[in-house]
Amino acid sequence: MYDILDSLNKEQREAASVLDGPVLVTAGAGSGKTRVLIARIANLIRNGVPPYQILAITFTNKAAREMSERLKGICDADDVITCTFHSFCARVLRRDGIYLGYTSNFTIYTEVESERVIKNILEKRNVDLKKKNTFAYHIGNAKNKGLNPDEYYSLIKNEIADAYLICDVYKDYEEELFKSNAMDFDDLLLKTEQLFRNYPNVLYHYASRYRYINIDEFQDTNQIQLEIVRHLCSEHNNIFVVGDEDQSIYGWRGAEIKNILDFSRHFPNARHIKLEQNYRSTTPILSAANNVIKHNLSRKDKVLWTAREGGEPIVLYEASSDRDESAYVCKKISYLVNNGYARYKDIAVLVRANSLTRLFEEDFNLHGIPYRIFGGFKFFERKEIKIFLSYLQLSVNPKDGIAFMRTVNNPKRGIGETTVEKLKAFADEKGVSMAEAVNIIDECDTITPSTRNKLIEFKKLIDDLCYKAPRMKASEFAKYTLEVSGLKETLNSGTEEDRLRYENMLELVGAITLFEESFENATLEDFLQYVSLMSDTDNMSDDNYVTIATIHMVKGLEFGTVFAVALEEGIFPSSMSMMSGDIEEERRLFYVAITRAKDRFFATWSKSRFRFNDFQYNPKSRFIEEMCGDVTPFAKPEPASVTAPGALKTNSYGSDYTKSSITQQSGQGQKDYSKFEPGKVVEHVKFGEGIITEVAGEGDNMIAAIMFKGLGIKRFALSVAYNLLKIKE
């Protein structure tokens, strides 16, 4: 085995060389913390520690597998236990859960299965099923805090009107799981801690076996995980943790930053080693990151630095509108790729919230930029959006069977899958659509009278929508549908997930509004057709695409070029954090965004933004000024001379733009855009013959709206589609 310590810098080597006692390694972004953790384990083995006495805990199964593979490449580490907290706890409970009344073959319930248990409890109690998510949230919150129903009641009784009911449902939920010999994911942690706390013989078995405990991403641990670790260290106190309090961004799901900040209090006489040398980013990027994070009070002081020389300045861009911002990002990406400065796969566009991805998705499609939504669905593929669109689709085509099946029990109406299957069979027998089948439902003997009534009530809703749709503006009708369908009420649970889903629906209403403004006499049918055609567009190559993601999803990843967009007060930092006064986690999130970049970092914001079906005029984020500091070199390009893709009305937003200092080289010779005029007939290689209805912009920024027979209107950036379109004289 080669000496892995020789490949480490001074601080890394110091950390990996400490064998005994508690050790805290605060490792800045890109400082090689995982490398240190692996080197430390290899060093333990080299110094005679049996591998089976070493426990390494990570936060994802992927990270655990990668650590195991890397260890096997440098030493005999087959018996080292590398796992997540949850998988370790499951292992403990399979062996010793009998002490708590569980057999070794207990079932681990998924989130879906847990929700089904809660639903059944609420039905028995005659509680509105639309509140299911609220109860699920509180049960999970209680377990993350390590509180039983009575303890949780004491915590929330003065703040939550339904506190007593919530805790009663929590009791019923626990009883149902126990009767089923089942645990949910939160139970794996909670029951293990209870086992260690109440059964000293069990604890002794594990605490004596695992002499050396190593934990990655310690800043992401919650209170229960900390208690488990303290139990495990009760015999030997050899605890080695690596983490970065500046990257603690999961407080919303229970992570406690104080676990790493108070490490020395929990483990007295701990050594503290800082890793500050960054191997990822350039000096301008690290200067920006340091400038931002130093404004936080809840942190251990460290300053990232790099031996890399040079580096491009940070770029700031203030857009006149969100459309201008999106167009700028598209143009800059095309410039970087076309001129060989970057590949699509090296570029990331980072947003604070999922609802912000829609405009970039639309414009990337328009400009032929391949992309993926990392860690989530594309906007129009998200479940809540598909359901919302299905309601709109039914209002213009009530015979749509797919839309009917997607909406009939969304939100929950007590119409189960079995009923839907019976209705489908009945409709097929009669040769009619499912909606039409409801009109003659009394003829169906396989569906009970009570369920028939529920189907009839749903059909009344669809009939109302069909009546209203042609009599209202598409955007107003969408808002009406959101209300009367029950979708809005269902997502009013107060949970973060439901809030984000509702924001996505509001974003869809906003998209419809913008569509109306872009095209004269635009109808709901036109918009639905536009969405279906856009959804079918797939520009993504096998492995070369721009990543669009929320910042939470890319922690631990790196990209050559990063665009952090929509940097405005109320968005980033979020309005919720501003109201609560808790800005520090938002600042840590921005720090994470900056430190994903290796070579280039772009920060953009907009003077106006059309969001949630309304214009917002928020000042730029406070993080911009913090990032600039006194020493960081920046370059601020002039506003781009672009007409925002899709905004064919050139005066839709903001003021006129001035010519950008950043130019894009086509590499294809001079293109003649003058022939693309309204009224001209064109031939597209894929869509066939069409007529130009509207044009906007100039030169490489020109956009044409073309009406194709049977397909409706499609929009093209002519700089991209130039060779695909032929003017018919």
Catalytic residue among 193, 217, 246, 324: 217
Distance of CA 239 to the CA centre of its chain: 32
Which tokens in the block code for residue 239?
């605890």
Q: Which amino acid is at 157?
A: K
The CA distances from residue 366 to 362, 518, 667, 710, in Å, are 6, 15, 19, 20
Q: What string of DSSP letters covers 272-341? A: EEEE-B-SSS-HHHHHHHHHHHTT-SSS-----B-S----PPEEEEEESSHHHHHHHHHHHHHHHHHTTS
The CA distances from residue 130 to 60, 482, 523, 540, 686, in Å, are 32, 15, 32, 38, 46
Check if 217 is active-site.
Answer: yes
Nearest-10 Cα torsion for 347, 351, 357, 359: -90
Radius of gyration of the chain (CA): 29
Check if 501 is active-site.
Answer: no
Check if 131 is active-site.
Answer: no
Check if 216 is active-site.
Answer: yes
3-state class (DSSP) for residue 456:
helix
Catalytic residue among 280, 596, 607, 620: 596
Check if 179 is active-site.
Answer: no
Angle at 9 between CA 8 and CA 11, to 5 degrees: 110
Catalytic residue among 219, 247, 282, 550: 247
Check if 325 is active-site.
Answer: no
Catalytic residue among 14, 33, 191, 700: 33
Angle at 444 between CA 442 and CA 445, to 5 degrees: 105
Contact 725, 678 (CB under 8 A): no
Q: Which amino acid is at 320?
A: S
3-state class (DSSP) for residue 635:
strand
Dist CA 474 CA 509 (whole Å)? 9
Catalytic residue among 11, 96, 184, 216: 216
In the chain, % helix, strand, coil (3-state, to 5) comes to 50, 15, 35
Other C-beta atoms lying within 10 Å of the C-beta of residue 523 = 17
Nearest to 491 by CA among 508, 503, 474: 503
What stretch of H or E contains 222? none
Angle at 387 between CA 381 and CA 392, to 5 degrees: 110
Catalytic residue among 26, 34, 223, 513: 34
Catalogue the active-site residues. Answer: 33-34, 216-217, 247, 596
